[in-house]
Amino acid sequence: MENGNSYRHILKWGDKHEEGISHHMAEVIKEKFDLSDADFKGKHLPGTEPVKLEKPSMLKPVQVDFFRSVSGAENIQTDDVSRARFSCGKFYGELLDLRLGLVPDPPDAVVAPRTHEEVKKIISFCSGEGIAVVPAGGLSSVTGAVRAPGGGIALDLTKHLNKVLAVNKVNKTVTVQAGMYGPALEEKLNRQGYSCGHFPQSFEYSTVGGWISARGAGQASTGYGKIEDMLVSVKVVTPAGVIVTRDFPRMAQGWDIFRLFAGAEGTLGVITEATLHVFNYAPENTTSAAFIFRSFEAAVEAMRIIIQAECGKPHLFRISDPDETDIAFRTGGFEGTLADRALQMLGFKTGSRCLMFVTVEGEKDYARFVIRKIKRKARAGKGLYIGTSPVRKWLEQRYSSAYMRDPLMDLGIMTDTLETAVTWENLLKVWKAAHEYVARRSKAFMMIHISHVYENGANLYFTFLSPMEKGNEKNDFTTFHRGLVETILEHGGSISHHHGVGRVLGPWMEGHLGRSSMELLRAVKKHLDPNNIMNPGGTLGL
Amino acid sequence: MENGNSYRHILKWGDKHEEGISHHMAEVIKEKFDLSDADFKGKHLPGTEPVKLEKPSMLKPVQVDFFRSVSGAENIQTDDVSRARFSCGKFYGELLDLRLGLVPDPPDAVVAPRTHEEVKKIISFCSGEGIAVVPAGGLSSVTGAVRAPGGGIALDLTKHLNKVLAVNKVNKTVTVQAGMYGPALEEKLNRQGYSCGHFPQSFEYSTVGGWISARGAGQASTGYGKIEDMLVSVKVVTPAGVIVTRDFPRMAQGWDIFRLFAGAEGTLGVITEATLHVFNYAPENTTSAAFIFRSFEAAVEAMRIIIQAECGKPHLFRISDPDETDIAFRTGGFEGTLADRALQMLGFKTGSRCLMFVTVEGEKDYARFVIRKIKRKARAGKGLYIGTSPVRKWLEQRYSSAYMRDPLMDLGIMTDTLETAVTWENLLKVWKAAHEYVARRSKAFMMIHISHVYENGANLYFTFLSPMEKGNEKNDFTTFHRGLVETILEHGGSISHHHGVGRVLGPWMEGHLGRSSMELLRAVKKHLDPNNIMNPGGTLGL
């Protein structure tokens, strides 16, 4: 076992015991990548050494003293392990760095403010001194959004600013501090009969402020919306002053200020509080349905028809493409069963068949009515209803795939995800082009799913696996990753649907948005953060 | 009859024959304001004189020549009638000015560009020359958003930039030029099986660009959303360059640029095109229900329960408060009927009873299912179902009340509307305070309705009537209006829910939003319009 001050302790997902790879999954991997049992012994780049930073903290003692005077000495950390922990998120390239014993972008200190007022003092001081500030939530960013390339401080919002301030039962909203983690928020809400409705895969280790800053999407976003759809108002400390917006349901008083902070990724200021819509908590009402389609094209067409029908919406709404469906069937132990053979005979063949999962939430009879409507439409689109248990099983392990990455990397397997938003018109183009791109690499494998669905399009979520090029892990990954990003953009995808942009995707922003739009982003940034202290160094390509 | 070059020709609503006031309405007015039949003869300040401007056009001949060279001589007007027509919208204060023969803010010329490219040339030229530009759609603004206090040009987008560019059946969107009027758009869409879903009271005389610029709301917005909810992307000519956004369903690539133009009221640039969601056109599926409640409080509580229930949403969803309900019953000839007496006996008494109207659209069985759910909840809230015909009748005359204002003003009656967005928590407070404020004026009468409903609140729409103070019409109105705005804001309302801010409500913006937020608006404005040519002179309080 690694110890508490190792690189591995920082890179591993979650604080649970490591589970390793299931028997079924191991078989798939052996086959796909020509591995033998011997390859499963030992760990590639395990990162078990103790953390040791090259860069000393560059803060002046008087600056550290200031932070201590504001937030208390116990809330300022300058040791190597704390600095390394706040030097990165969970982007594959960052995990690789840690495994290689590299910490390229540590902050000089980690400061954990206790109040909104302390955040104000800290931001004002840092703006005057030119000290960079990286607001930090759960550090689950997969886009390099929480690095400190120029040093400065990481602002740990999770230690103190992690409470529900008010549940408003009349307005059906919650006002919550930015550093609160998903499970704590959801538990508080459940006790009052509500749910936050936002369940990203990172739910266990991500915060409200991070959700807003990255414009995250939960697994039931088709029904509940992305976090920006749930956002009612914010309280933000910027170097140019505090911005507090009001909780009006809608308004027509100029353009919306609060929306600028959805997706700002810490570049404009520190969100300290937010008011969000909440939803009725009634899991016993949830209806679900799983379908199988003969092809991805047929499943996508059925999905589009369902979402455009104006007869109530699914909450969870997913399609796994043939490659992901195949993995799901194999790792689920379904492959080769009698039922599988029956499906094959009916034309639902490995390599082209696709799973679709749906849930509908809300009042009991409403959820039942809408799922019936969806079943009818899925059947009309040649989908075969295969019951509810595949959906229930999926829900039970809904956060598990994040835990798979560490053991895969231990095996020397590169694994990362990308995602994009795309109109229905371009969706199949992007899907095909991405698969073709990955197929050009030997021993590479990609699964794609659709998991967030809208009237005019959907997202595509890409998970790729390939053996690392040992000794050249970073360059190999960077080149491969760049090509995939460019393939997505060239065929009509967006830079990101819900992971955000960070520093990893920043270089594509200007070409993608156009110069006038990018300069508008920069003008907003320049106004709110004239000394460029807020999460500087390439975030959003600013 | 007025002639085509009179002030009256400009001030009157719509191009239909004037209809006057119904018998029932005349009776109500006589009673409320102590008028006699004699008062109904003759017209107060009829505005029938020919338009004559004091201010000559201040453009240099070389500037006029430039506009002619770009858009053709036939598309440049500098005559008094054209300038007067584009000098204002339909704000009560503006109509009063016209009736008094005043045109305080005429543009120097009206320019009707034929293409997006011409708009680019015009904006670039005007920015260099410091010529103000007021983008103009249907001129139905009720907030003074289309005036030219410093002269310059009005940009008539309705003459040429008025076409559907593409209906995308796969993405379920329409791309349309900004100067297209509602009925023309709706007709085009209907023919392809779609509806724009946006039916503001000004529908007949307002344009897509105006809807977006003012952040309008249609009568079925509870189901279809406000125009900003339907907006997918925009093409905007700003002095700092053209901004074109993409039609992704959602994204996480920084904050949304396209949303800045929803509510910008022409201060940032000229919207030339927009892509909007469209909806299935199936009016035969619409279900409806009318209810009566014993009190406004009970109706509001039922409305809140329905919208927060998560069992499908109404599309049209309205409550008329007791005063508006009373007028509806009296002008509809219901008062004193047998049915009325029965209602009174059941406790639905004049002065406290309230009407609620609901429609649900979508697939036929869905619309039926949801209206049944709503009926059950309305009944549980002590609402009495009174059939569908009141809703159908209301829909038949849905655009008619705008036509009432001219004959009322002819009678010497001040009549204007205000509206606000407010959380459920503050809604009754604002409603009561507004009524109390109006009650302090002798012979004043106010009706309030709720017509746009959200999970966390709703709008309130105020219509007030009172005899003008003859000879002191403007000051009297301005003082009364200011007091009502301040009453709304003090009790927790927003400046506007869907009329926008314009120059009339601009003075309240900074106090309402706070200085940091207002400076952020100004920074965006400064970047996109450094020479302050876009709709300058107090719009949005910038």
Would you give per-residue pLDDT tens digits along chain A (542 residues)? 446 799 999 999 987 766 788 889 999 999 999 999 998 888 999 999 999 999 999 999 999 999 999 999 999 999 999 999 999 999 999 999 999 999 999 999 999 999 999 999 999 999 999 999 999 999 999 999 999 999 999 999 999 999 999 999 999 999 999 999 999 999 999 999 999 999 999 999 999 999 999 999 999 999 999 999 999 999 999 999 999 999 999 999 999 999 999 999 999 999 999 999 999 999 999 999 999 999 999 999 999 999 999 999 999 999 999 999 999 999 988 999 999 999 999 999 999 999 999 999 999 999 999 999 999 999 999 999 999 999 999 999 999 889 999 999 999 999 999 999 999 999 999 999 999 999 999 999 999 999 999 999 999 999 999 999 999 999 999 999 999 999 999 999 999 999 999 999 999 999 999 999 999 999 999 999 999 999 999 999 99
**Partner residue opposite B243 with nearest CB, options A244, A455, A517:** A517
Comparing alpha-carbon positions, the chain A residue that sits nearest to B372 is A366
> What's residue A27's pLDDT?
92
**Partner residue opposite B249 with nearest CB, options A249, A259, A457:** A457
Question: Is B75 in the same domain as B143?
Answer: yes
Find the distance separating the first CA and the last CA of chain A, reported in whole Å.
41
Instruction: Tell me if residue B362 falls in helix, strand or coil.
Output: coil
The strand pair at A354-360 and A287-293 is best described as: antiparallel
> What's residue A20's pLDDT?
80
Distance from CA of B192 to the nearest CA of A (A): 15
**A458 and B CB contact within 8 Å:** yes
> What's residue B281's pLDDT?
98
Q: Which residue has the tokens 């029932």?
A: B24
A241 and B363 within 8 Å at the Cβ level: the answer is no
Q: With beta carbons less than 8 A apart as the criterion, state whether B240 and B529 touch.
A: yes
> What's residue B18's pLDDT?
67
Distance from CA of B512 to the nearest CA of A (A): 10
Domain span at residue A67 reads 7-156
**Partner residue opposite A497 with nearest CB, options B252, B500, B527:** B252
- Label residues A326-356 b or e (16+ Cβ within 10 Å = b): bbbbbbeeebeeeeeeebeeeebeeebbbbb
Q: Is the pLDDT of residue B19 over 80?
A: no
Q: Which of A398, A424, A442 is the last residue of a domain?
A: A398
Q: Is residue A348 part of a domain?
A: yes
The CATH number of the domain where B203 resides is what? 3.30.465.10
**B499 and A CB contact within 8 Å:** yes
Distance from CA of B205 to the nearest CA of A (A): 20
Q: Which of A118, A137, A156 is the last residue of a domain?
A: A156
Give contacts of A 135-194 with B, CB under 8 A: 168, 170-173
Comparing alpha-carbon positions, the chain A residue that sits nearest to B221 is A250
Q: Which of B377, B398, B419 is the last residue of a domain?
A: B398
Select the residue from A258, A272, A310, A501 to test the B interface by mutation, using most B Cβ atoms within 10 A: A310
**B490 and A CB contact within 8 Å:** no
A500 and B304 within 8 Å at the Cβ level: the answer is no
Q: With beta carbons less than 8 A apart as the criterion, state whether A194 and A167 touch.
A: yes
Question: Is B292 in the same domain as B253?
Answer: no
List chain B residues with CB under 8 Å of A498: 250, 252
Distances (CA, A) of B77 to A140, B71, B156, B287: 60, 11, 10, 48
List chain B residues with CB under 8 Å of A259: 255-256, 259
Q: Is residue A469 part of a domain?
A: no
List chain A residues with CB under 8 Å of B526: 523
What CA–CA distance (Å, rounded) separates B425 from A169?
9
Q: Is residue A447 part of a domain?
A: no
> What's residue A56's pLDDT?
94
Q: Is residue A451 part of a domain?
A: no
> Confidence band (pLDDT; 50, 70, 90) for B1?
very low
List chain A residues with CB under 8 Å of B243: 514, 516-517, 520
Locate B427 and state its tokens: 């809604």
B513 and A253 within 8 Å at the Cβ level: the answer is yes
Give contacts of A 227-256 with B, CB under 8 A: 232, 238, 240-256
A170 and B423 within 8 Å at the Cβ level: the answer is yes
Question: Is B132 in the same domain as B265?
Answer: no
Q: Is residue B539 part of a domain?
A: no
Sheet holding B164-168, edge to edge: B164-168, B173-177, B270-277, B231-238, B241-244
List chain B residues with CB under 8 Å of A527: 519-520, 523-524
- What does pLDDT average to over chain B? 96
> Confidence band (pLDDT; 50, 70, 90) for B95?
very high
Task: State what percent of residues in chain B have pLDDT above 90.
Answer: 94
Select the residue from B141, B248, B518 to test the A interface by mutation, using most A Cβ atoms within 10 A: B248
Distance from CA of A458 to the nearest CA of B (A): 7
Comparing alpha-carbon positions, the chain B residue that sits nearest to A276 is B456
CB atoms within 10 A of CB A479: 11
Residue type, A246: R
> Confidence band (pLDDT; 50, 70, 90) for B459?
very high
**Which residues have a Cβ under 8 Å from the Cβ of B304 and sit 6 or more positions away?**
A170, B424
Give contacts of B 523-542 with A, CB under 8 A: 523-524, 526-528, 540
Number of domains comprising chain A: 2
Q: Is residue A213 part of a domain?
A: no
**A283 and B CB contact within 8 Å:** no
Q: With beta carbons less than 8 A apart as the criterion, state whether A154 and A141 touch.
A: no
**A257 and B CB contact within 8 Å:** yes
**A217 and B CB contact within 8 Å:** yes
**A37 and B CB contact within 8 Å:** no
Q: What is the ipTM of this complex?
A: 0.97
**Per the confidence metrics, is the pTM higher than 0.95?**
yes
The CATH number of the domain where A372 resides is what? 3.30.70.3450
Question: Is B214 in the same domain as B249?
Answer: yes
The CATH number of the domain where A119 resides is what? 3.30.43.10
The CATH number of the domain where B388 resides is what? 3.40.462.40
Question: Is B291 in the same domain as B253?
Answer: no
The strand pair at B76-77 and A453-454 is best described as: unpaired
**B85 and A CB contact within 8 Å:** no
What CA–CA distance (Å, rounded) separates B247 from B251?
10
Question: Is B65 in the same domain as B124?
Answer: yes
A520 and B524 within 8 Å at the Cβ level: the answer is yes
Distance from CA of A64 to the nearest CA of B (A): 29
> What's residue A18's pLDDT?
67
**Partner residue opposite B457 with nearest CB, options A248, A255, A520:** A248
> What's residue A1's pLDDT?
44
Helices (H), A155-284: 182-191, 208-214, 221-224, 227-230
A254 and B247 within 8 Å at the Cβ level: the answer is no
Question: Is B329 in the same domain as B390?
Answer: yes
Give contacts of B 405-424 with A, CB under 8 A: 421-424
Question: Is B312 in the same domain as B211?
Answer: no
Residue type, B149: P
Residue type, B423: T
**Size of the A and B interface in Cβ pairs below 8 Å:** 289
Q: With beta carbons less than 8 A apart as the criterion, state whether A223 and A314 touch.
A: yes
Distances (CA, A) of A203 to A375, B94, B152, B392: 29, 54, 54, 47
Question: Is B266 in the same domain as B359?
Answer: no
A523 and B524 within 8 Å at the Cβ level: the answer is yes
A516 and B251 within 8 Å at the Cβ level: the answer is no
Q: Is residue A326 part of a domain?
A: yes
**DSSP per-residue codes, A413-425:** EEEEEEEEEEEHH
The strand pair at A109-111 and B445-450 is best described as: unpaired
Comparing alpha-carbon positions, the chain B residue that sits nearest to A456 is B171
Q: Is residue B303 part of a domain?
A: yes
Question: Is B171 in the same domain as B270?
Answer: yes
Comparing alpha-carbon positions, the chain A residue that sits nearest to B215 is A252
Name the residue among B518, B538, B515, B539 with its Cα closest to residue B213: B539
**Partner residue opposite B252 with nearest CB, options A232, A263, A308:** A263
Locate B467 and state its tokens: 């005899």
Question: Is B122 in the same domain as B13?
Answer: yes
List chain A residues with CB under 8 Å of B202: none
> What's residue B438's pLDDT?
98
Question: Is B291 in the same domain as B265?
Answer: no
- Label residues B263-296 b or e (16+ Cβ within 10 Å = b): bbbbbbbbbbbbbbbbbbbbeebbbbbbbbbbbb
> What's residue A401's pLDDT?
87
Name the residue among B10, B20, B150, B125 with its Cα closest to residue B70: B125
List chain B residues with CB under 8 Å of A424: 170-171
